[in-house]
């Protein structure tokens, strides 16, 4: 029989033991998946990982539940700290996700079972698409296996930890084996910059605003695809929230999994370091006019109607919740007929409650969503036709996922529009 690992992949004795089933049937099943991917990538070896983030927690059908349940039945458990992405229900706020139609009931039942299966394998009940907001984050150069596109981009780019693009099934198998293929963004070469993006023509005031991240991310992702962009001209104090929004939008519009911001991100102290001494394959220059055009492309609504506002995709950070509370405090009430949602992780929401933000949000009728997100589950009322968001990722996916028209806006514009009961935006803040 041919060697199942292929001629180029070298396994350690411990890894071979896992593959041979000597450490249990569940580990063997997971190792077969990891080894199979390594062969596809022609990886010379596997790499030990220090953590994993599981994207496959959303119930998309029976196959995902069957796979996770099979691992549980075979006794598989994770061997590295493992966090869980959003699921299909909000366990902290029962009733947030609709459960009326047969399809919604199937998602509720299957979604809960899938979430329980991952918990049974020893993963943490984090239920967030922003694991970098949790108490333990991987450090510079540390190999991990993170799934979920925005988490991958943030992990590689902002933390400087190393993960390739992992998705459903492979993520949990890496967590169970503690291994991933040594390929892709685990390697030095794949992390170097490809395309230079010059934003020096955009005023600093605009680059410090909360629309810069999502709009630049959308533009860059749509132009560079899966290449690694290197940005010059961003303020040295660019916040993690801006970088989060940039990475999420760039991953959605183009598949970016690694980006550099010169003088800001850890592997880009200089342009030369970011490119590893190579010349960029292309130079892209962006202006304020490009930001205005990006907002127009993401905005599909054609009039001033507004039914719902949704912020927090990726999950809102404690700073973003504090900013929202400050915008709300001592202002007028929200207009009737406009729902306002903020999605966040349960750990961030616990901190927000400690700091008194819950009282402010509740006083203004803001609905908090944890454990899931408004663009992947049945949360918005069926009659909603026009939604406003400050997230480039939400704006990119919601029209197809939910069948709604979208308005892309800053957080301040979201609050002002919800109060006015109609769309209120001003392109001057982008110039």
Give the residue extent of every domain in the chain.
Answer: 13-186, 192-295, 300-425
127: which residues sit within 8 A by CB, 6+ positions away? Answer: 57, 84, 85, 86, 87, 91, 115, 345, 346, 370, 371, 372
User: What was the pLDDT predicted at 94?
Assistant: 86
Mean pLDDT of 136-150: 97
Assess whether pLDDT exceeds 60 at residue 42: yes
Q: In the structure, what pLDDT confidence band is assigned to residue 428 with cuts at 50, 70 and 90?
A: confident
Residue located via tokens 């519009």: 253
Q: Judge whether 159 and 179 are in contact, CB under 8 Å.
A: no
> Rounded distance, CA 361 to CA 251, Å?
30
Express each pLDDT in 147-172 by its tens digit: 999 999 999 999 999 999 998 999 99
Distance of CA 55 to the CA centre of its chain: 9
Show the CA angle centred on residue 173, arms to residues 70 and 18, nearest 5°. 90
Express each pLDDT in 363-386 by its tens digit: 999 999 999 999 999 999 999 999
> Rounded distance, CA 335 to CA 289, Å?
32
User: What was the pLDDT predicted at 429?
Assistant: 85
Cis before 79 (ω within 30):
no
Q: Where is 314: in which H helix or E strand?
A: strand 308-316
Q: In the structure, what pLDDT confidence band is assigned to residue 394 with cuts at 50, 70 and 90?
A: very high
> Rounded distance, CA 213 to CA 12, Å?
43
> Rounded distance, CA 419 to CA 329, Å?
13
Q: Judge whether 68 and 169 are in contact, CB under 8 Å.
A: no
CATH of domain 300-425: 3.30.499.10
Residue range 13-186 forms a domain whose CATH class is alpha beta
User: What was the pLDDT predicted at 1?
Assistant: 37
C-alpha separations of 382 from 35, 114, 141, 225, 226 in Å: 44, 26, 46, 34, 35
65: which residues sit within 8 A by CB, 6+ positions away? Answer: 59, 110, 113, 114, 117
Q: Both tokens of residue 195?
A: 């395309």
End-to-end CA distance of the chain: 66
Assess whether pLDDT exceeds 80 at residue 4: no
Q: What is the pTM of this model?
A: 0.96
Assess whether pLDDT exceeds 50 at residue 144: yes
Of all residues in the chain, the percent with pLDDT exceeding 70 is 98
Q: Put the strands of the sheet holding 405-408 in their side by side order.
A: 367-369, 339-344, 308-316, 386-389, 405-408
Mean pLDDT of 10-17: 98
Q: Judge whether 181 and 31 are in contact, CB under 8 Å.
A: no
Of all residues in the chain, the percent with pLDDT exceeding 90 is 95
Assess whether pLDDT exceeds 90 at residue 8: no
Assess whether pLDDT exceeds 80 at residue 314: yes
> Rounded distance, CA 214 to CA 393, Å?
8
User: What was the pLDDT predicted at 3?
Assistant: 53
Closest CA to 303 of 170, 184, 407: 407
Q: In the structure, what pLDDT confidence band is assigned to residue 2 with cuts at 50, 70 and 90?
A: very low
Express each pLDDT in 210-237 by its tens digit: 999 999 999 999 999 999 999 999 999 9
- Strand pairing category for 52-54 and 145-146: parallel
* 13-186 and 300-425 agree in CATH topology: yes
Please give the mean pLDDT across all residues of the chain: 96
Count the neighbouring beta carbons within 10 Å of the beta carbon of residue 337.
10
Closest CA to 313 of 383, 387, 382: 387
Q: In the structure, what pLDDT confidence band is assigned to residue 7 with cuts at 50, 70 and 90?
A: low
Q: Judge whether 151 and 132 are in contact, CB under 8 Å.
A: yes
* Strand ranges (E), 65-194: 82-84, 145-146, 179-181
Express each pLDDT in 92-120 by its tens digit: 998 899 988 999 999 999 999 999 999 99
Express each pLDDT in 400-422 by its tens digit: 999 999 999 999 999 999 999 99
Q: Judge whether 80 and 51 are in contact, CB under 8 Å.
A: yes
């Amino acid at each position: 029989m041919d060697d199942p690992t292929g001629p180029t992949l070298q396994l350690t004795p411990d890894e071979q033991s896992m593959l041979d089933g000597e450490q249990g049937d569940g580990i063997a099943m997971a190792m077969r998946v990891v080894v199979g991917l390594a062969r596809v990538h022609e990886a010379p070896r596997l790499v030990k990982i220090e953590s994993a983030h599981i994207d496959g927690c959303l119930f998309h059908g029976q196959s995902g539940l069957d796979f996770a349940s099979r691992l549980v039945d075979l006794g598989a458990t994770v061997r590295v700290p493992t966090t869980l992405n959003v699921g299909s229900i909000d366990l902290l706020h029962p009733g947030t996700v609709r459960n009326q139609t047969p399809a919604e009931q199937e998602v509720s039942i299957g979604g809960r079972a899938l979430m329980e299966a991952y918990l049974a394998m020893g993963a943490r009940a984090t239920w967030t698409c922003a694991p970098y907001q949790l108490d333990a984050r991987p450090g510079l150069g540390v190999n991990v296996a993170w799934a979920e596109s925005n988490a991958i981009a943030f992990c590689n780019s902002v933390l400087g930890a190393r993960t390739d693009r992992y998705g459903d099934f492979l993520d949990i198998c890496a967590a169970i084996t503690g291994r991933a293929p040594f390929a892709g963004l685990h390697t030095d070469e794949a992390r170097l910059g490809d395309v230079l993006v010059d934003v020096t023509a955009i005023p600093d005031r605009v680059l410090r605003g909360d629309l810069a991240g999502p709009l630049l991310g959308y533009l860059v992702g749509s132009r560079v695809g899966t290449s690694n962009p290197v940005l010059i001209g961003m303020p040295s104090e660019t916040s993690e929230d801006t970088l989060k929004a940039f990475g999420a939008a760039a991953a959605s519009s183009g598949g970016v999994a690694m980006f550099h911001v010169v003088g800001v991100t850890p592997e880009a102290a200089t342009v030369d370091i970011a490119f590893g001494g190579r010349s960029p394959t292309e130079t892209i220059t962006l202006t304020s006019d490009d930001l205005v055009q990006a907002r127009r492309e993401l905005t599909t609504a054609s009039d001033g109607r507004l039914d719902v506002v949704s912020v927090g995709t990726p999950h809102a950070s404690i700073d973003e919740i504090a900013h929202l509370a400050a915008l709300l405090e001592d202002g007028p009430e929200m207009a009737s007929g406009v729902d306002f949602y903020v999605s966040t992780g349960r750990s961030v929401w616990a901190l927000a409650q400690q700091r008194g933000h819950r009282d402010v949000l509740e006083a203004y009728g803001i609905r908090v969503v944890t454990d899931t997100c408004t663009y992947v589950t049945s949360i918005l009322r069926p009659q909603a036709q026009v939604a406003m968001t400050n997230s480039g990722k939400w704006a990119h996916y919601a029209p197809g996922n939910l069948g709604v028209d979208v308005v892309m806006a800053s957080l301040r514009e979201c609050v002002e529009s919800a109060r006015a009961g109609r769309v209120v935006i001003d392109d001057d803040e982008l110039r």
